[in-house]
Amino acid sequence: MSLDEKTTETAQEALDNLIAGVIQFREDIYPEQRELFNKLAHEQTPRAMFITCADSRILPELITQSSPGDLFVTRNVGNIVPPYGIMNGGVSTAIEFAVMALGVHHIIVCGHSDCGAMKAVLNPASLDGMPTVRSWLRHAEVARTVVEENCGCADHNTLGVLTEENVLAQLDHLRTHPSVAARLASGQLFIHGWVYNIGTSEIRAYDASKGEFRLIGDGPLPMATPKSRYV
Ligand SMILES: [Zn+2]
């Protein structure tokens, strides 16, 4: 289906397509992977926690070529991680569960190109009539201020720089969570800041030692994790 055809999809067609997918999954896809789903029926041991935007164009399993059971995913508008203690909602709960109960060794915060949330941070007037979104995006305010005060970037670059700074701000917030801080200190947990480009498929990761984002697969993997102290 082309994008044009999809944008003219009626409400009924949208539902019909979803239901057709449900049936296709059950009748065609599931039988091919029955062994995997039977194994997953009673336990999960994900290899990473993946925190990303709710944007429909991001498929964490697709862009990392992961299978069911591989990623513990939390999504929200703007891939935000509220600082610990401010709002013990879904994101904080998912982080604590992933680290303490599942023992994940990696947490990835992944922003993306053309992010509507980041555009709204740059243009707060667009949030008139959306008080909940406005309130949620205050957790990205720090990134906007960092860009405003430091980046002499041309207008067309501002969104990209803000998107990167927002990922770094959320990594900072992530480190305020006690479960995360404790396991970072002991070297049992690694955190990663990524930005996914929808149009090119490229993912750039933050290199804390160099203070820059670099393409994954181009040299050593850029690492955002601070040095551990209790190994
Ligand atoms: Zn987004």
Domain at 44-215, CATH class:
alpha beta
| Residue 57 CA, ligand 1 centroid: distance in Å | 9
| Residue 40 CA, ligand 1 centroid: distance in Å | 30
Question: What pLDDT is recorded for position 111?
Answer: 98
Question: What pLDDT is recorded for position 173?
Answer: 97
H or E segment and range at residue 229: none
Question: What pLDDT is recorded for position 143?
Answer: 97
DSSP 8-state symbol, 57: T
Report pLDDT digits (tens) over 6-56. 667 899 999 999 999 999 999 999 999 999 999 999 999 999 999 999 999
| Residue 72 CA, ligand 1 centroid: distance in Å | 19
| Residue 75 CA, ligand 1 centroid: distance in Å | 10
Splitting the chain (231 residues) into consecutive groups of 10 residues, what average pLDDT does each group show?
67 95 97 96 97 98 98 98 88 97 98 98 95 96 94 84 98 97 96 98 97 94 91 74
| Residue 71 CA, ligand 1 centroid: distance in Å | 19
| Residue 167 CA, ligand 1 centroid: distance in Å | 11
Nearest to 78 by CA among 130, 39, 129, 35: 130
Could you tell me the maximum CA-CA distance found in the chain, to the nearest angstrom?
Answer: 57
**DSSP alpha helix (H) spans, the chain:** 3-7, 11-24, 30-32, 34-40, 60-63, 90-96, 116-122, 131-136, 141-150, 155-174, 178-185
| Residue 55 CA, ligand 1 centroid: distance in Å | 5
| Residue 182 CA, ligand 1 centroid: distance in Å | 29
| Residue 97 CA, ligand 1 centroid: distance in Å | 24
What global pTM score does this model have?
A: 0.94
For CATH 3.40.1050.10, the residue range(s) in the chain are: 44-215
Cα–Cα distance, 175 to 83 (Å, whole number): 8
